[in-house]
Structure 1
C-alpha cells in the first residue's frame, strides 16, 4: 500500500479561503492582505488595535537534541494546535518560515509532516510572501551603502579593517564564507576581505522577529553597528542614513502571515532566525497577535531545548514580556536510542536498554526547562517501529523526573492523535502553575551570562575565552551594552560543542571563538566551537530530488 508523502498529503488538502480562517480568530476580511486565496498578511492597523486585549496562554514546544532519526518538533506543534482546537478551544499556532538553505540542503522544510502540516506546504517552503527576500534586500542595501560611503570619501572615517557587516543570501553556499570584494580597479572601490552569512543569521532577521511595530523596527535598524573607526568608535546604520530605506523594504515583511493547518487551525508563520546561530523563534509580533486573538497559542523554538528554548526564555520572552504557561518537550524512541549509543542502521530492533540510556538527554532537557519555573510535559512522537516496552521505558523514566510522557500519533492521525496531550497541556496551562523567570538578570556581566548558560544548561565545567574576547566583552559593557542577553551559537547536536557527543555529557569545556554585538537586535552573539554562519550543502543535496511533475506541480520537497 502506497504511503503518501508529505507533499502529496499537502497537495490533497481541502483548504478553506483565508478569510474564513481569519474570521475564526475575529480578524475582519478588510484587515487581511491576501496573497492568493490561501495565505494573507494581517494588517498593521488591526494589530495595533489589539493592544488593550488580554493575552491567551502560551505553550512552547521544544525537543531533545536533534538526531538523524528525527524528532518532529514542528509536526508536534501543528498536531497539538489541532488537538486543542478539536477539544473546542480557540487555538492558534505560531511557527517560523522556512529557509531555502535547508530546503535544498539536508534538513528539509518547516511545515510539519504527515497529517500534521501547515498548508500551502510548497509556498511556505519556497518564496512564501517574500519576507526573506525583503530581509536579504534590506541587509544587502546596508552593505552596499557601507562600500559606497567609503568610495565617496568616507566622511565617517570607517576603518576598512574593522567593518563587521557582511552580506547575506538565503542559500547554503560554502564558497561565499570568505570573499574579497571591490576587485577590478579604481571604479569598483577599495578591495577588502568580507564574506556572506545565510539570511536567517542576519541581524536584520533577528530585528524583524523582535520588533513590535514600524517605529521600533526603524529604531533597531538604526542601532546596527556596521563597523568601527580607527579610534574604535562604532559606526551605525543610522550614521549612514540607511535605516529609513531599510524600513521601507521591510514594511510589508513586518506584518505576520496567516495560513492554516490541514485541519484548518489558524497558523501564524512569520520570521525564521536559525536556532544554532540566532535566537530560533518566530516573530514577537506574530506571537503577540495570536495571543490577543486565541485562548491557547502553541509555538516552537528551534532545535533542542538547550538552544531554541533557552533563547526563547532568555531573549524572546525577556524582550517581549512573554511567559509560557507550559512547555512540551518532544522526543522519539528512535532518537533516544541514538542518544543511547546506537547507530542509525540499528534502530529497527527493540532495544529497551538503549532507550533507557538515551533518556539521560531527555532528562537533562526536562530539568533545564523546569529551571525557568515552567511545568513540563513530554510528547513521545510515535513511529510505527516503536514497541510497547520501549514506550513504557520512556514513560517510566519521565515519571522519575517529576513529569509525564504522553504518546502522540499526530503524524498518522492529525489532531486526533494528540487529544490526550492537548487535554493535559490545557489543564496545566489553565492552572497557572508557571512561575517563569529568565536564567540570569539583565545586570549580570556578559561573560558571567555566558558561563551561566554553559554551566547550568550545557553542564560544562568551564568557558574557554582568550583575553581578546574578554576585553571585547568588557569594552561593550563600558559602552553601555552590558545589560544585553547573550545568544549562544553552537552545534545543535550535543549539549557540548562537539556534535558527536550525544546523551548528557559532563566535564566538557565551551570554547568561545568569537563574539559579535547585535546592538539593533539587542543581544551579544557568542560563537562557540566550529559553528558556521554560512552552511554548506551535503554531498547529495535535497535539491537533486526537487522538480516539477508533467502537470507542473512541485515534487521532492519534504
Structure 2
C-alpha cells in the first residue's frame, strides 16, 4: 500500500516530502487512507516593537505537544525564518525555545532546509535574464528585484550600468520576494511555471513585458525541485512539525505554503498553522488571502498569543489585544487568549485572569511555555478541545476578486484595524501609483482588481498612530505594487522595509 513514506526522503538531519506528488496520489486514489484534519490558527497581539515576538512559535510547539499528550493526533506547520533578520538576533528564531523547541532549531534558523537559498537563486536568475533582455532591446526597465538573505542598506536602491543607459534596480530580502509568494501559494510545479511566466519582468516602451515572453521556464522550476518539498522535523518531545515557506507577514503574505498545510491535514487530526506577526498581519492574510482567495481551510479555532507586558503595561495600546480576540470571535472562530509568561510573572496570573474575565474572553490559557512547555498547557485545554470536537468544518468565505482595490483596502482597514472607511486617507501620489499599476496589469492582459490584496504595513502598528484616540485613528494608502505571477497586489499603508537591518546583540 502506498503511504506518505513513499514520498519522503532524507535531507541531512531532517526529511523532505514530495507534497505535490502525495496530494496528486490522494486525488487519483480517493479511497486511499487519509485524514481530514481541522486547522487551528495561532496568531498574536500586535507587538510593542517590530523586533520583538510574542511567542507564537513557542506556543505552537507547546500546543501540539500538549494535544499529543492528551491523545489527539496534532502537528504544526511553520514558516522558515529569514537568516539575516531572525537568526541574526533581531527577534525570535521561529523554532521555539526551552521545553517548547524543535530538535534541530539551527536547521531552521540558518536556512539549512534549503528552500530559502533555492528561491533566492531562482529569482536572482530571473533578474539576470531581465538584465540580458535590456542588452537585447527587449526591456527598458526592470521591475523584479534581486533578493538576498543578508540585508544591506546600500542595496535598497541601486543603478546598474547597462551600456547605453542606466537601469534602476533594488534588492529585497528573500522572504519578501514574489517567487517566495508563488511557491507558498502554488499546488503543483506546473502552476509554479505558469505563475513565473506571468511575472512582470519590466517594461518596453512603457508596456509591461512578462518573463514568459523571453525565458525558458524549466531553468527556473528546475532550481526549485527540492525547495517545493516541505521539511519534516519534530519537537524535543517528538511531535511532528512541517517547515515550509518563509514570507514576512508585514510586507508579504506571512503564511506557510498551502501545500504543506493541505498535506498535514491529510495526515493528522489537528493542524496548527502559525501566521506571522499579529492578528492584523499574518492572521488577516491567512483569512483574506489563503482562505478567501486561494481555497485554504478556514480555521476551526484560533489562539491569540500575547505577553503579559504587551497586554497590560502600555495603556494607550491596551485596546489592540481585545480587538484581535473580539474580531476573530465575530468571524465565528472560537478564539482562546493565551498569555505567554516570562520568568518572574507567575504572580500576575490571578490579575490576568480577572482582567480577561472583565473583557468577556474565553477562559485564558496561561503559562511559562519556555520553562514548562506543553505540560503547562495540557491541563488547560478542555474548552479548546471541546470547541474543536464539537465544531463543524467551517464554510469557505466568498472571494473579493473584482472588488475595487480602494474599497477592498477600506474593508480590511475596518475589519482588521478598526478604522472606518471614511478615515482611510490617500497620500499624495497614491492615485498616480494606482493608475500606473492598473495600466501595467492591462498591458499584461488582466485587471488589477482581480488580484488578491496584500497590505504592506509596519508590524508594530495597526494604524497611522495606534496611540491616537479611537475616533482619530487613520490608515494612509501610500503606493501600489503588482506581483502578477503570485496573483497579488501590494498596497503600502505605513512605513515598512523589505530590507530591514538586523539588531546588534
TM-score above 0.5? yes
The alignment's TM-score, normalised by the length of structure 2, stands at 0.90
Structure 1 equivalent of residue 88 of structure 2? 104
Of the three residues 402, 409, 414, the one matched with 1:455 is: 414
SS state at 1:467 partner? helix
Between the aligned partners of 1:409 and 1:537, the Cα distance in structure 2 is 27
Pairing 1:431-442 to 2, within 5 Å after superposition: 431-432=390-391, 435=394, 438=397, 441-442=400-401
Query: Could you say if the C-alpha distance between residues 435 and 56 of structure 1 is closer, same or farther in structure 2, counting changes exceeding 3 Å?
Result: closer
Contact 1:119 1:259 in 2 (8 A): yes
Structure 1 equivalent of residue 57 of structure 2? 74
Are positions 1:468 and 2:432 aligned together? yes
SS state at 1:89 partner? coil
Are positions 1:283 and 2:257 aligned together? yes
Contact 1:446 1:477 in 2 (8 A): no
Give 5+ residue unaligned stretches, structure 2: none
How far does residue 246 in structure 1 lie from its aligned partner after superposition? 1.0
SS state at 1:181 partner? strand
Structure 2 equivalent of residue 118 of structure 1? 102
Structure 2 equivalent of residue 312 of structure 1? 286
Between the aligned partners of 2:72 and 2:273, the Cα distance in structure 1 is 16
Structure 2 equivalent of residue 27 of structure 1? 4
Instruction: Please identify, of 446-455 and 275-284, the stretch whose mean Cα deviation from structure 2 is larger.
Output: 446-455
Deviations 1:363-422, CA, capped at 9 Å, x for gaps: 111122234331111111122322545543455435633533121332212211111344
Give 5+ residue unaligned stretches, structure 1: 1-24, 342-357, 543-558
Structure 2 equivalent of residue 493 of structure 1? 460
Contact 2:251 2:456 in 1 (8 A): yes
Are positions 1:63 and 2:63 aligned together? no
How far does residue 477 in structure 1 lie from its aligned partner after superposition? 7.5
Are positions 1:414 and 2:373 aligned together? yes
Pairing 1:100-499 to 2, within 5 Å after superposition: 100-102=83-85, 103-154=87-138, 158-160=139-141, 163-182=142-161, 186=163, 190-230=165-205, 232-318=206-292, 319-340=294-315, 359-389=318-348, 391-398=350-357, 400-432=359-391, 435=394, 438=397, 441-460=400-419, 461-465=423-427, 466-472=430-436, 474-475=438-439, 479-498=446-465
Contact 2:202 2:210 in 1 (8 A): yes
SS state at 1:61 partner? strand
Contact 2:291 2:298 in 1 (8 A): yes
SS state at 2:26 partner? coil
How far does residue 193 in structure 1 lie from its aligned partner after superposition? 1.6
Contact 2:182 2:192 in 1 (8 A): yes
Between the aligned partners of 1:59 and 1:504, the Cα distance in structure 2 is 33
SS state at 1:320 partner? coil
Deviations 1:42-82, CA, capped at 9 Å, x for gaps: 12433422344452110000000113575211100111011
Are positions 1:529 and 2:494 aligned together? yes
SS state at 2:128 partner? helix
How far does residue 497 in structure 1 lie from its aligned partner after superposition? 3.6
Contact 1:210 1:320 in 2 (8 A): no
How far does residue 431 in structure 1 lie from its aligned partner after superposition? 1.4
Between the aligned partners of 2:380 and 2:244, the Cα distance in structure 1 is 25
Structure 2 equivalent of residue 7 of structure 1? none
Instruction: Please identify, of 410-419 and 282-291, the stretch whose mean Cα deviation from structure 2 is larger.
Output: 410-419
Between the aligned partners of 1:402 and 1:456, the Cα distance in structure 2 is 19
Q: What count of residue pairs does the alignment treat as equivalent?
A: 486
Query: Could you say if the C-alpha distance between residues 417 and 526 of structure 1 is closer, same or farther in structure 2, counting changes exceeding 3 Å?
Result: same
Between the aligned partners of 1:450 and 1:96, the Cα distance in structure 2 is 26
Query: Could you say if the C-alpha distance between residues 391 and 70 of structure 1 is closer, same or farther in structure 2, counting changes exceeding 3 Å?
Result: farther
Between the aligned partners of 2:482 and 2:380, the Cα distance in structure 1 is 40
Contact 2:457 2:495 in 1 (8 A): yes
Query: Could you say if the C-alpha distance between residues 193 and 70 of structure 1 is closer, same or farther in structure 2, counting changes exceeding 3 Å?
Result: closer
Structure 1 equivalent of residue 77 of structure 2? 94
SS state at 1:275 partner? coil
Query: Could you say if the C-alpha distance between residues 423 and 219 of structure 1 is closer, same or farther in structure 2, counting changes exceeding 3 Å?
Result: farther
Provide the alpha-carbon RMSD of the alignment. Answer: 2.4
Which consecutive aligned stretches of 4+ in structure 1 deviate over 6 angstroms post-superposition?
none
Between the aligned partners of 1:464 and 1:75, the Cα distance in structure 2 is 39
SS state at 2:102 partner? strand
Contact 1:490 1:497 in 2 (8 A): no
Query: Could you say if the C-alpha distance between residues 99 and 377 of structure 1 is closer, same or farther in structure 2, counting changes exceeding 3 Å?
Result: same
How far does residue 517 in structure 1 lie from its aligned partner after superposition? 1.1
Deviations 1:276-303, CA, capped at 9 Å, x for gaps: 1001011111111000000000111000
Between the aligned partners of 2:473 and 2:404, the Cα distance in structure 1 is 22
Contact 1:455 1:462 in 2 (8 A): no
Deviations 1:219-271, CA, capped at 9 Å, x for gaps: 111111122232x4321111122432111111110011100011110100011
Query: Could you say if the C-alpha distance between residues 251 and 398 of structure 1 is closer, same or farther in structure 2, counting changes exceeding 3 Å?
Result: farther
Between the aligned partners of 1:332 and 1:391, the Cα distance in structure 2 is 15
Contact 1:58 1:326 in 2 (8 A): yes
How far does residue 447 in structure 1 lie from its aligned partner after superposition? 1.1
SS state at 2:213 partner? coil
How far does residue 475 in structure 1 lie from its aligned partner after superposition? 4.1
Query: Could you say if the C-alpha distance between residues 203 and 304 of structure 1 is closer, same or farther in structure 2, counting changes exceeding 3 Å?
Result: same
SS state at 2:36 partner? coil
